[in-house]
Amino acid sequence: MSLEAKNIYFRYNKKQSWILENCTLSVEKGECLAVFAPSGYGKTTLAMLLSGYLKPVEGQILLENKPLPKKGVCPVQLICQHPEKAVNPRWRMKQVLEESGTLHKDVLGAFGIERAWLDRFPRELSGGELQRFCVARALMSGADYLICDEISTMLDVITQAQIWKVVLAEAAKRNMGIVAITHNKNLAQRIATRIIDLSHSV
Amino acid sequence: MEQKNGTLLEIHDLSVSFRMYDYDEFRHNDIRRRLKQTDLQVISDLHLIVNPGEIVAVAGSSGSGKSLLASAILGILPDNATVRGHLHYKGEEMTAARQRQLRGTEIALVPQSVAFLDPLMKVGAQVDGHRRPRQTERRKSLFQRFGLPDKTPQLYPFQLSGGMARRVLVSTALISEAQLIIADEPTPGMSLNQALEALRLFREMADEGKAVILITHDIDLAIEFADRVAVFYAGTTVETAFASDFKSGPDALRHPYSKALWNALPQNGFLPIEGFQPYAGNLPGGCLFAPRCPYKTPQCIAEIPPIREVRGGEVRCQHEMNF
C-alpha cells in the first residue's frame, strides 16, 4: 500500500534540460515523509506529478501499483504553496469548500474557519485564513494521500502548530500517507516519520 | 502628538477600517433580509516606532493586520478603507500626496505574494525598473549573491519557482535607493541559506543608516538579525520586545501571546494554544487576547489594558509579567 514515483523524468518542453531526472521516491500509508531540496530544484513540480496534475515524460507514478485514476476525485490531493493562486477568485469561500463535498460544521471548528468567512471572496481573506480553507478542502475529499507543498510557511507559528495537529490527527485516524515539502528542518523533525534530502540523491 | 527626535517612522493610534455590506444579523432568516452598511475595524490603536539603522521585525497571528499596516504606510489601501491616526515619516505628517511621492523612491515594499510580479514582463527588466540609468550592474550582483542562475533575467515570472520569485521580489526592493524597506514575508519558499542571505542584505542596509520593517512568521530567523520585535494580535501591537528577549526564552517576554508564540515554535515544543484570533467584526470588549489567555481576570474582560513600559519594552497587558 504505497504511493510511488518510479524513475521519473520531467521537463516542460523538449528544448529544456531535465528538471527531474531519474527521481524515485515512495511513501507508505500511515507515514509522513518530509522532503528537502534546494529552491528551484523541482519540488513543486514533483508535488504536481505525484498528485496527477502533470504527467511524467518517462517513468511512472503508481498508487498501489496502479497508475493514478483518471476519473473521479483523485485519492492523492495536493495542497499548494500559494493559497491565493489555488482558489477561484470569483467564487465565494463557501463554494470553494463545497467543491469537495457537503460542508460539515465540525470541519469549520477544527480549522478555525469563521462562519462569516464563508460569504467572502478570496481576496477578502488573509493568506493564513485562505490556507485553512485549502487544507479543509483537501481533507474533506476523503483522500488517501496528501501532498503538502510548504503549506504552513505563510502561517503564524501557533496556527502552523494547530493546522499540523489537525492534519496529523486526521491522517492517523484514516491511515493516510503524507508527503510534506518544507524548508524548515525543525518542523520536519516534529512532523515527519522519515526525512529525505533530494539534493544528495542526484 | 509629540515627536521623538530622529525617528524614521512613527505610528500612533493607527486605526484602519473597511466599509462593507453585510446581512443584518437579526434579519438573517427573514424573507425581507437586506444589506446593511458596516464599518469593519481591522487595525485599532496601533503603535510602532522605527529608528534609522534598525530592523524591526513584525510577528504575530496571520490575519492580525500586518500586511494592512504595510499598505497603510504606503497609502495603497483600497477605496473603501478609512485610516485614522498619526503617521510621521522623518518627523513630517504623512499625507496622501506625500505617500504618493515617497513610495517607490524613499519607501520600498517587498510584497507578500509572488503574484505581484508582472506576468508579461521578463524578470531582468522588471527588477531594473524605470530608473535611468538602469541599474543592471547592481541587479547582477544581487542576483549573484542570491544564487539565482545566469538565465534568470530572461525568464518570465511563471517560469520561476516559488523561492526564485521571492528572491526576485526582494531584489526589486534592495535595488532601489529606499531609506525604508517594508518587507512583507520575504523569506517563505527560500532555503535556509538564501533566507539568511536576504536577511544579511537587510542587515547591511540597516547598518548604513536605513531601516527595515520585516513582517515575518520565521521568528527564529528574524531574531538573529532584527533589533526589536513588535508582536501583533487582532489588529494591534500587544508587545514590543528586544530581539534578545525572544532568544532568552518565554521568561523574558512580557505578553502571554508572545509566550504562546515562542512555545509554538517547532523547536520549542510545537504546542499550540487553544482557540483562534477573534474575527475583526466580533472583537471582545476588554483585552483582545483575554478569551485565549490562561491568566485572564475579570478586569481583563472589562477594559482594554493600556500600553505600559516593562523592562525597556512595551506591553499591552495589565498583569505584572512574572508568571
Q: Per-residue pLDDT tens for B162-181? A: 889 999 999 999 998 899 99
What is the model's pLDDT at position B32?
A: 57
pLDDT in the model for residue A17: 87
- pLDDT confidence of B63, banded at 50, 70, 90? confident
Model pLDDT, residue B24? 57
Q: Does A115 touch chain B (CB under 8 A)?
A: no
Query: A40 touching B, CB under 8 A?
Result: yes
What are the tens digits of pLDDT across the range B22-36?
665 554 555 556 677
- The overall average pLDDT reported for chain B is 88
Q: Closest Cα partner for B42 from B303, B232, B276, B316? A: B232
DSSP letter for each residue of B51-80: -TT-EEEEEE-TTSSHHHHHHHHHT---TT
Q: Indicate yes or no: CB of A161 within 8 angstroms of CB of B271.
A: yes
Domain range annotation of chain B: 1-20+40-106+217-323
CATH homologous superfamily of B1-20+40-106+217-323: P-loop containing nucleotide triphosphate hydrolases (3.40.50.300)
B242-275 per-residue burial string, b: 16 or more CB within 10 A, e: under 16 = bbebbeeebebbbbbbbbbbbbbbbeeebebbee
A116 in B contact zone (CB under 8 Å): yes
What pLDDT does A188 receive? Answer: 92
What does the alpha-carbon distance between residue B144 and residue B296 come to, in Å, rounded to a whole number?
A: 51
Cell 513582517 found at: B215
- What ipTM is given for this predicted complex? 0.79
Distance of CA B32 to the CA centre of its chain: 42
Which residues in chain A touch residue B260, judged by CB atoms under 8 angstroms apart? 158
CB contacts of A128 in chain B (<8 Å) are 61-63
Give the gap in angstroms from C-alpha B318 to the nearest C-alpha of chain A: 23
Helices and strands in chain B, H and E counts: 10, 12
| Strand-strand pairing, B313-315 and B308-310 | antiparallel
Contact of A158 with B260, CB cutoff 8 Å: yes
Interatomic CA distance for residues A140 and A134, integer angstroms: 10
Size of interface A-B (CB pairs under 8 A): 112
Q: What is the pLDDT of residue A145?
A: 94
pLDDT at residue B322, as a whole number: 54
Convert A9-34 into a string of H (helix), E (strand) and C (coil).
EECCCCCCCCCEEEEEEEEECCCEEE
Confidence tier at A15 by pLDDT (50, 70, 90): confident
Which chain B residues touch A159 with a CB distance below 8 Å?
61-62, 272
> Longest Cα pair distance anywhere in chain B, in angstroms?
66
Q: Please give the Cα distance from B265 to B286 (Å, whole number).
A: 28
Cβ neighbours of residue B104 closer than 8 Å, sequence gap 6 or more? B176
Flag if A39 and B149 touch (Cβ within 8 Å): no
Question: What does the block give as the cell for B179?
Answer: 531609506
**pLDDT at A81 > cutoff 60:** yes
**How much is the pLDDT for A202?**
46
Classify burial at B287, counting beta carbons within 10 Å of its beta carbon; exposed 0-12, middle 13-18, buried 19 or more.
Answer: buried
Task: Note the pLDDT tens digit of each residue in B211-266.
Answer: 999 999 889 899 999 999 999 999 999 999 999 999 998 889 999 999 999 999 99
Give the tens place of pLDDT for each residue, A35-51: 988 777 888 899 999 99
The mean pLDDT value for B92-110 works out to 92
Strands B236-242 and B313-315, by their bridges, are antiparallel
pLDDT at A82: 82
- What distance in Å separates residue B290's CA from the closest CA in chain A? 16
Residue by residue, DSSP assigns B124-146 as HHHHHTT-SS--HHHHHHHHHHT
Render B166-181 in DSSP notation, one character per residue. Answer: HHHHHHHHHTS--SEE
The pLDDT score that the predictor gives to residue A109 is 79
- Express each pLDDT in A132-179 by its tens digit: 899 889 988 888 999 999 898 878 888 888 889 888 988 998 899 999
